[in-house]
Amino acid sequence: MPKAQVWLNQNYSIKNQTIIDAKSQKLSGKLTIQDFPNLEKIDFSNNKDLTTIELINLPSLKHFKVNNCQINNITITACPNLTYFNIGNNLLTKTDFLSDLNPKKLTHLSIHSNNFSKQKLDFLSQFTNLEELYLDNSNEENFCLRTYNHFYGSLRPLQNLTKLKWLSLAKTDIDNGLEYLPISVRKIGLKKDWGSDNDSNCIKIVRELEKVAKVSGGTEQLTQEEENEPISVRGKATWYRLAPWHQAYELLGEEEFKKQISQQNAQIWLDKYFPKEATNDREKRENIIFLNLNGKNLVGHLDLRDFTSLESLSCLGNKLTSLDLSRCTNLIKTNCSSNKFDDTYFLGKIPNKEKLEILRINKNEELKENLNFLTPFTGLKELNVEDCSFYGSLEPLKGMKNLKKIFLSRTHINQGLEYLPDSCKELYCDYDYQYKSSKIADELSKFVEDRHYDVAKWQEDKQNDMIAFTISLERLYVIRGNMRQFLKKWGLKKENSVSELSVLQSSEELWKHRLAIYITQFVGRSAGVAGAILTFQNQSAVGGGIVAIYPIAELVVSKLEQILKDKKSKWKEFLTDADTFLDNYHELSGILVQFEIDELKGAVNKKLKALNENIKEFLDIYDQDNNGEIDVEELIDKRGDLAQELNKKENKVQEIIDSIKQLEETMIEYRKTSHYIISEKKAVTTIYQPQVVVHQP
């Protein structure tokens, strides 16, 4: 795969060219195009690994197209005559580079399908000569990964773009301001032929245009082809004409237009389309299970108390400020996203809060509070609070034992991951450093799994981290070394032999040795006395022979006393070594007792559990009084069992030593990866969750 700069230098070494065409050349890396005085057109589209472009001193450049690459950074210097600029379907996050374009010259701007951060359209107000403007999100795959343009708000910043004809907003959150668009605008792109209509707020504009097309007396068609349409617009049913909107405004007048089109009183609309009494085509309110009020441009308070059987409510894409759900005892799913709620009081009035399984209140920017209001909703399985000003900790969610998914992007919730229940496997949180929730994304950055963060792996790693950096490796080395020394000294030294401990005797058990010494001393001394008497009695031959026994007996006694001394010394050594061994054993137990080992997960903790099991097995054998400790007297009493155990090559002490070593090795490996491996992917994106299918008028 050729480097872009190398390719350019080889193929365009002479700088008098007027066109550089590098479409689909599989170019990669960074590219600087500089000092081409006659260059008028550049096209580097479809180079999937091209990441950075610099345009420097290109005074004749008019046409620039680098579509469908991986551009994440672009610099423009001294390019004053650009009229056509297309850098759509890339990975740009900031619009700063547009300030380096000449707003008086630019007529075509396409920045669709990038990853621009959440912002309004004010940055476009200077480009008053634009005729075509493409801000939409066309890349379905990236959109599902939450890599898309996060434009939102009103069209008002475009009011001075009086030459604008073609405007594409599809799959953005631009949701109002048609009245500010100049009369020159002929069509707006608002939909795509993939995804859900409700996965972006611009559907509100679609609903408004669909209403104006039905105004009595209107003759303008909403989707017919316009003269001289660009190829990007031609034949697309997802582009809407503005002519019907202007015609309806003229027919109705400003006041009536606002009543019928711009906004509708929520309660009046509900009473009209869902009357309290049943009709031929509408069942009773109390029998309705699914209710869809999406994108109706409803304003104000909405009383839904009569819908007592309601299980699923979706009212996204309106301007509701409050709801009354106080008699909706069966609610399971509620989607209140993209409204104007400024508090969560209405949620507190829901009866049987534990029944609610799905709650979506995202895109309500005026919601500014912590998550304490969610504590009673213990049955939640999915929670979406994205694009709200919630702040603080996730601790209020700790009682939600069924929670599986949570969406936190662009909030100020920045702590409390440790409180999420074990059931929570998926957390969706985009990187955007304008919001404190980016701290959550930072914390989880190593645990990207498909389109979300894997909370279970984070919890596992957190537990590994706690063990790996709480337990002292140095102490483990010392404890293992001491235990190994004990085993080496008192255990089996050769195959087909017995352990040193097997032949060890305590002081009390050495009475036979003492008796042998006493008897030998008695025999020797008695022989000496007897031999002396016989010698005095003129039986010197016999007496001399008997007297000769005495020094031999004394020599034997001396040897026996040395053996006894050695055995006593060996016993004292054992007592000292056993005391040291037990000190190390109890220190190891003390290290482990501070952890809830049965609840721990992960590679480090797996080794910790194995060590703990071996320690408990040893305790079960030698703790005679069941006080959770082993003292030297208990080890002495069970010395026979210990000796028999040490006669085996694979014994309980060796198992403890091996477990310590395995724990050490796993801790070292974890510490290495934790400190020195940097996650390649610092951002995670999320997939939009489909809306509930609900009852629609």
Instruction: Give residue-wise pLDDT tens across range 640-695.
Output: 888 888 888 888 899 999 999 998 888 888 777 764 343 333 333 333 333 333 33
- C-alpha R_g of the chain: 42
Query: Measuring CA to CA, which residue among 311, 308, 378, 377 is closest to residue 344?
Result: 377
CA–CA dist 38, 43 (Å, integer): 15
Q: Note the pLDDT of residue 35.
A: 96
Q: Is the pLDDT of residue 611 over 70?
A: yes
Highest mean pLDDT among 68-72, 143-147, 509-513 belongs to 68-72
Q: Is the dihedral of CA 665, 670, 676, 678 positive or negative?
A: positive
> What is the band of 272 on the pLDDT scale with cuts at 50, 70, 90?
confident
Q: Is the pLDDT of residue 538 over 70?
A: no
> For the chain, what percent of residues have pLDDT higher than 90?
52
Instruction: Give residue-wise pLDDT tens across range 64-73.
Output: 999 999 999 9
Range in 124-133, 196-205, 287-296 the model is least confident about: 196-205
Q: Is the pLDDT of residue 255 over 90?
A: no
Q: Is the pLDDT of residue 223 over 60?
A: yes
Query: Measuring CA to CA, which residue among 169, 166, 164, 132 is closest to residue 152?
Result: 169
Range in 237-241, 257-261, 310-314, 625-629 the model is least confident about: 257-261
> What is the band of 467 on the pLDDT scale with cuts at 50, 70, 90?
confident
CB atoms within 10 A of CB 691: 19
3-state SS class at 437: coil
CA–CA dist 356, 361 (Å, integer): 13
Q: Note the pLDDT of residue 689.
A: 34
**Cβ atoms 136, 169 nearer than 8 A:** yes
The overall average pLDDT reported for the chain is 86
Question: pTM of the full predicted structure?
Answer: 0.62
Q: Note the pLDDT of residue 49.
A: 95
> What is the band of 420 on the pLDDT scale with cuts at 50, 70, 90?
very high
Q: Note the pLDDT of residue 679.
A: 39
Q: Is the pLDDT of residue 561 over 70?
A: no
Instruction: Give residue-wise pLDDT tens across range 327-352.
Output: 999 999 999 999 999 999 999 999 99
Q: Is the pLDDT of residue 564 over 70?
A: no
Between 17 and 262, name the one with better pLDDT: 17
Instruction: Give residue-wise pLDDT tens across range 170-204.
Output: 999 998 899 999 999 999 999 888 888 778 889 88
Q: Is the pLDDT of residue 478 over 70?
A: yes
Q: Note the pLDDT of residue 268.
A: 86
CA–CA dist 204, 210 (Å, integer): 10
**Cβ atoms 585, 618 nearer than 8 A:** yes
Query: Rounded to 5 degrees, what are φ and ψ at 323?
Result: -135, 150
CB atoms within 10 A of CB 568: 15
Q: Is the pLDDT of residue 497 over 90?
A: no
Domains of the chain: 4-203+234-240 (3.80.10.10), 266-445 (3.80.10.10), 470-676 (no CATH)
Q: Is the pLDDT of residue 76 over 70?
A: yes
Q: Note the pLDDT of residue 696.
A: 38
Token reading at 368: 């500014």
CA atoms within 13 A on the CB side of 581: 26
Q: Which residues pair with 20 in a beta bridge?
A: 42
CA–CA dist 203, 175 (Å, integer): 7
Query: Rounded to 5 degrees, what are φ and ψ at 521?
Result: -60, -45
Q: Is the pLDDT of residue 228 over 90?
A: no
CA angle 555, 558, 559 (to 5 degrees): 90
Range in 27-31, 326-330, 460-464, 555-559 the model is least confident about: 555-559
Range in 136-140, 214-218, 518-522 the model is least confident about: 518-522
